[in-house]
Amino acid sequence: MNPRFKKKIVVLGLTQLLIVIISFISNKDISLLSYINISFYISSLLLLTSLLLYTIHSGFYDVIGKSFNLAFSRGENKRKLEEIPALSELITIDQKPLLFYGLVNGLLMLGALCLYYYLQT
């Protein structure tokens, strides 16, 4: 088995364990509805973080970051605009794993939601 695939399975297992633990802590029991709610929050957090990193890497916030850096540098620390590094160069976190884990957790949540509605009817 591929080591990358093993790592992805382990991380997915850990996120599912985290969802079950948070569900148990918040509701004092583990139910399908609490699993769905907590996994929605976790997958949304992962997906939104991935989208934020994607927009940062695209250079969307570079001008804003440079402008704030230029505006708040004073005195001897005053730099030229060309010397200030872009925000997309400073943030080097890869967004693809977060997107993958968010999508897989979201798909598991949707499966649990379908099961919940099937059991309710």
Residue-number span of the structural domain to which 70 is assigned: 3-120
DSSP annotation of 121 reads -
Q: DSSP per residue over 69-89, as a string?
A: HHHH--GGG---GGGSPPHHH
How many domains does the chain divide into? Answer: 1
The pTM of this model reads 0.86
Residue 88 near residue 59, CB atoms below 8 Å: yes
Please state, as a whole number, how many other Cβ atoms lie within 10 Å of the Cβ of residue 57. Answer: 17
Q: What are the pLDDT digits (tens) for 70-107? A: 888 776 667 777 788 888 999 999 999 999 999 999 99
| Mean predicted confidence (pLDDT) in 28-47 | 94
pLDDT of residue 27: 86
Report d(CA 53, CA 107) in Å as an integer. Answer: 21
